[in-house]
Amino acid sequence: MNFNDEAIKKVLLAGNYIEEKDIAIAEEYAKEHRGSFVDYLLGQGLLSRAIIGQAFAESFGVSYSDLEAHSPRKEQVFLIPEELAKKYRTVVYSQKGSDVVIATDDPTQEELLANLQPLFPDKKLTITLAIPDEIDAIFANYHLGLGAIFAKIIDSKGRAAPEIINQIFEEALLLKVSDIHCEPEEHRVVIRFRIDGVLHDVGEMPKEYYENIVNRLKVQSKLRIDEHFSAQDGVIRYASPSHTEMVDLRVSIVPTLDGEKVAIRILSSSVRDLGLSDIGLSLALQEQIIKSAKKPFGMILVTGPTGSGKTTTLYSIIKIINTRGTNITTIEDPVEYKIHGINQIQVNTQTNLTFGNGLRAIMRQDPNTIFVGEIRDLETADIAVNAALTGHLMLSTFHANNAATAIPRFIDMGVEPFLVGSTLELIVGQRLVRKICDSCKVSFRINKVAELESFGSEVARHFKDGATLYKGNGCEVCSHTGYKGRIGVFEFLSTSPELQNLIAKSPSTKDVMALIKSQGFVSMFEDGIEKVKAGMTTIEEVLRVVGS
Ligand SMILES: [Zn+2]
């Protein structure tokens, strides 16, 4: 909604809020001074923001909500997720019993009520009008408020950098953030946190303080501070006052047009709840994975894009087979968790300890099981296949969209197809979906499957009339997002004799899919739908990460 001068003039006159002669004087003045006649009227006291709001509200036939006089509380603001709020430019103005008053600067939006109503089941929503820049001011609540903290530190200190950095680290640990991004723009630097896979803006600072911050981060991660034009990677071992153990932070600095962008991955230093059920594997899949992992040789590949939880799955497998009678050696980049009783090697390109060289060295150490962080070139793939053929269980991640595409992609690297067929034991495809928050989970029934048609027929065909679904209403625990934590959705492709024969012929993804579908393959999407039915996640979330 655009509240420009013309529009304001129209509604003011239409509602008899102001006389034509006053507008004429104001316009004359505005023309002379190259200003806005609204500013003049405001300045002369002939008009107030509330009157403008009233006039517009009346023109839309709704009430006016004065956000400046009655600012909603932060927890009320969070009742509408940021994305939705900004899309429809809405905030919750007030809430009394079952009555919820919504303010927007455009009450004419058709889908507005329909899209907000699901957030407030059993409540009566009333749409009212608010002034655009007052709505923008309320949106600032969505930011977690690091910006205000930065400003305070900058005001009170000459040397602000160490304190700002600690503030960012502490806030990130508190919110269980996986990545911190410092993104320089032309005049400011935006700090963003990735929480449960989604990036959120959490604060900003003036750019003049940024150089000191980057310099300090470089010193802490033992990088060159005089280097501004090439990418650098390092690690900070951070001793947090609020944590008993050290936290490893992997720092990556990349030059951009507006300055050096810093991304920091927070690595947990030990494996806690990493059971196969914790990551979301059904009992049937757990049995299958244990059966494959207990074979003395062969290869298990876990595929998926970056951040899909591949390494976590492999660590869970390693935990199962980690007994005193066997030797497990890993080569990783980076070592993400330390596991007691296994030998973990960190890739180091400066000393030429690559995946390939490391793997060759490990082979001379007589291991039973080898975990290679990632197979990404022919050299590593060749050694891995050989290891798997000669009595070792090989575990690795592989960058492919799903289990079926991994087969042609692996062959494309240059490995003999028949060798791929005879070593591959199991390919796991996976993604992470957000879990519905347990503290505010509610169920609801769909009367007719047709209500799900908007998700596509691929989704709808998995449900029946009267099916029960679940969602999170939003609460303090989940920062009003309705989601808390993540869980994997999986697909398993274990090699049958028929598939081995097919792989030897260098098949396309389509060929592979055709065969495994006839053998009862369950895709990640289908596993996701099962998790929707079980109330673990939502249809929206499954479609977001897997598609259909
Ligand atoms: Zn919740």
Residues with CB under 5 A from ligand 1 (ion): 437, 439-440, 472, 475, 477-478
Ligand 1 centre to CA of 436 (Å) is 8
* Same domain for 529 and 382: yes
Q: What is the 3-state secondary structure (H, E, C) of 308-327?
A: CCHHHHHHHHHHHHCCCCCC
* Same domain for 168 and 120: no
Ligand 1 centre to CA of 195 (Å) is 15
Structure token digits, residue 90 = 């809405």
* Same domain for 388 and 316: yes
Ligand 1 centre to CA of 168 (Å) is 24
Predicted pLDDT at 11 = 85
* Same domain for 342 and 301: yes
Question: pLDDT tens digits, residue range 105-151?
Answer: 998 888 888 889 988 888 999 999 998 888 887 876 665 567 777 77
Total domains in the fold of the chain: 3
Ligand 1 centre to CA of 299 (Å) is 40
Ligand 1 centre to CA of 486 (Å) is 13
Range of the domain at 147: 143-267
Answer yes or no: is pLDDT of 159 > 90.
no
Residues constituting the chain: 548
Q: Which residues contact 235 (CB under 8 A, 6 or more apart)?
A: 221, 222, 248, 249, 250, 251, 334
**What is the rounded (10 degree) CA torsion for 521, 526, 530, 533?**
-150
- Considering only CA atoms, which of 487, 491, 502 is closest in space to residue 534? 487
Q: Which residues contact 140 (CB under 8 A, 6 or more apart)?
A: none
Question: What integer best gives the mean pLDDT of the chain?
Answer: 86
Ligand 1 centre to CA of 471 (Å) is 10
- DSSP code, position 141: G
Question: pLDDT tens digits, residue range 430-443?
Answer: 999 999 988 889 99
Using pLDDT thresholds of 50, 70 and 90, give the confidence band for residue 274. Answer: low
3-state secondary structure of 269: coil
Q: What is the mean pLDDT of residues 155-171?
A: 80
Range in 143-157, 194-208, 498-512 with the lowest mean pLDDT: 143-157
Ligand 1 centre to CA of 75 (Å) is 12
Ligand 1 centre to CA of 324 (Å) is 42
Q: Decide: residue 449, CB within 10 A, 0-12 exposed, 13-18 middle, 19+ buried.
A: middle
* Same domain for 93 and 116: yes
> Which CATH number does the domain housing residue 152 bear?
3.30.450.90
* Same domain for 197 and 263: yes
- Considering only CA atoms, which of 252, 174, 245 is closest in space to residue 214? 252
Ligand 1 centre to CA of 59 (Å) is 38
* Same domain for 426 and 387: yes
Assess if residue 449 is contained within a domain: no
Assess if residue 167 is contained within a domain: yes
Assess if residue 478 is contained within a domain: no
Answer yes or no: is pLDDT of 383 > 90.
yes
Answer yes or no: is pLDDT of 278 > 50.
yes
Ligand 1 centre to CA of 283 (Å) is 27
* Same domain for 203 and 114: no
> Which CATH number does the domain housing residue 418 bear?
3.40.50.300
* Same domain for 185 and 106: no
Structure token digits, residue 122 = 């059993």
* Same domain for 302 and 233: no
Query: Using an 8 Å Cβ cutoff, are 409 and 306 in contact?
Result: no
Ligand 1 centre to CA of 108 (Å) is 31
- b or e along 148-180 (b: 16 or more beta carbons within 10 Å of the residue's beta carbon)? ebbeebbeeeeebbebbbebbbebbbeeebbbb
Ligand 1 centre to CA of 543 (Å) is 21
Q: What is the mean pLDDT of residues 54-82?
A: 83
Ligand 1 centre to CA of 250 (Å) is 30
Predicted pLDDT at 381 = 95
Query: Using an 8 Å Cβ cutoff, are 339 and 395 in contact?
Result: no
* Same domain for 412 and 304: yes
Work out the number of other CB atoms within 10 angstroms of the CB of residue 129. Answer: 24
Place of tokens 């960058």: 399
Ligand 1 centre to CA of 118 (Å) is 15
Ligand 1 centre to CA of 313 (Å) is 26
Answer yes or no: is pLDDT of 74 > 70.
no
